[in-house]
Amino acid sequence: MSEPVQMLDEGALLDRVQAPDGREILDAATREVIGRAPVHTVADLDAAVDRASAAQPGWAALGHERRSELLLAAADAVEAHAEPLARLLSREQGKPLNGPNARFELGACAAWLRATAGTVLDPEVLVDDESGHAELVYKPVGVVGAIGPWNWPLMIGVWQIAPSLRMGNTVVVKPSEYTPLSVLAMVSVLNDVLPDGVLAAVSGDREVGARLAAHPGVGKVMFTGSTATGRKVIEASAGNLARLTLELGGNDAGIVLPDADPTVIAQDLFWGAFVNTGQTCAALKRLYVHDSIYEDVVAELAAVAEQTPMGPGLDEGNVLGPVQNPQQLAIVTRLVDDARARGARIVTGGGPAPELGELFYRATIVADVADGVPLVDEEQFGPVLPVIGYHDVEDAIGSANRLDVGLGASVWSGDRDRARAVADRLQAGTVWINSHGGLHPMAPFGGIKGSGYGLEFGVEGLKSVAVPQVIHG
């Protein structure tokens, strides 16, 4: 049995993981210092991989049942610390406590740990007749290197950690330089119930991330982030032929068909785009609306945007927060300013909100734009949604498919069969009908084209962090 989990508040969690001489981490909303993140080196990473390699055979030998029990204990530990972790996450990442944000993210961490613990991957009988018997089984890869992003650092971290551990691998996590403290704190909580050496987090710069992708002791790399960085991960992993799961950038398109009711879909459209203040890979980032209802959809979206509270995340009334970092704010500002200069109509928002804080940008709806405008063609990754009109659904489908991304897409209609016919023609790893961005731990998730490859979640997610073996006889 695992030892009872020691209950820690936010300050105690910080004290566990921060370093007195480390790098200052600022509150995304107030720009005050939260704490100091350790700056680990390549040598620290090498030592972590060595420890993980040494621990892996014993972890695998525990068997699926015992590993699942420990994942369930890990879920309990996360739930026991959900509030202090959510508060630390809110300060570091910027997302508010409420809405589909920090508390939601901690709930998802526990839910995915439990779902992964309960997912069964049985041997598959391939041949069983007079010619012989053969079955397919899955074995651990060894050490998994998990390189995480700053937008959903804890939830995506669990997406990488949970299946890897479930299949008998050990894991070395490299969190984003923007959100290391919350990840280090969550790993510390998980390690209260896991055996020594099974899970480690190394907080360092890009050199450390590059070494993790290229490390000869790592058999699998899981990366979530930009397409440009994903290409570098591929290059770095070539030397050791590490297996890869890459969840890269998206510029998800939504198509609103003429029979949709703007008043019915407006809230779901808004949150499909503005979840986590628009800083989500599979958020709705360009919306194509039939010209017969175009102005109504634009007006309804603007009304929702204007009524949705934005501000510091620890204020219980807010559900939209800041852009997480100055570099991303500069991208958002550039794209909106460029669209304005090209004649786009800024329906609401369109600029910073300095009265809220340095990194706040108003929820923005942009109309009268077209394909080819950078705001449409590039991933804005912030609180902005361009709305593009169309007349012929064939043109909308062509527009949705024309970019070299394919993470998610959505179709909005009062006629499900009609929506399904359009959905079948969209080039994306996931297509939603009358919603956007919702995920389920048993439904595989992954991108196509420039949005990466490999699947996460469910049985397919377990297979992706294992090596297949066919046994004859």
Question: What letter represents residue 345's amino acid?
Answer: R
Closest listed residue to residue 252, CA positions, set 28, 460, 445, 456:
445
Closest residue by Cα to residue 116 from 173, 155, 58, 172: 155
Question: Tokens representing 55?
Answer: 């621990």
Phi, psi of 162 (to 5 degrees): -60, -50
Catalytic positions are 247, 281
Q: 361, 353 in Cβ contact below 8 A?
A: yes
Closest CA to 286 of 300, 309, 269: 269
Q: What SS3 state is found at 431?
A: strand
Strand partners for 187:
none
Element holding 143 (H helix, E strand) = strand 143-147
Across the strands, what pairs with 36? 24
Contacts for 417 with CB less than 8 Å, ≥ 6 apart: none
Euclidean distance between CA atoms 393 and 290, whole angstroms? 8
What distance in Å separates the CA atoms of residue 444 and residue 462, rounded to the nearest whole number?
10
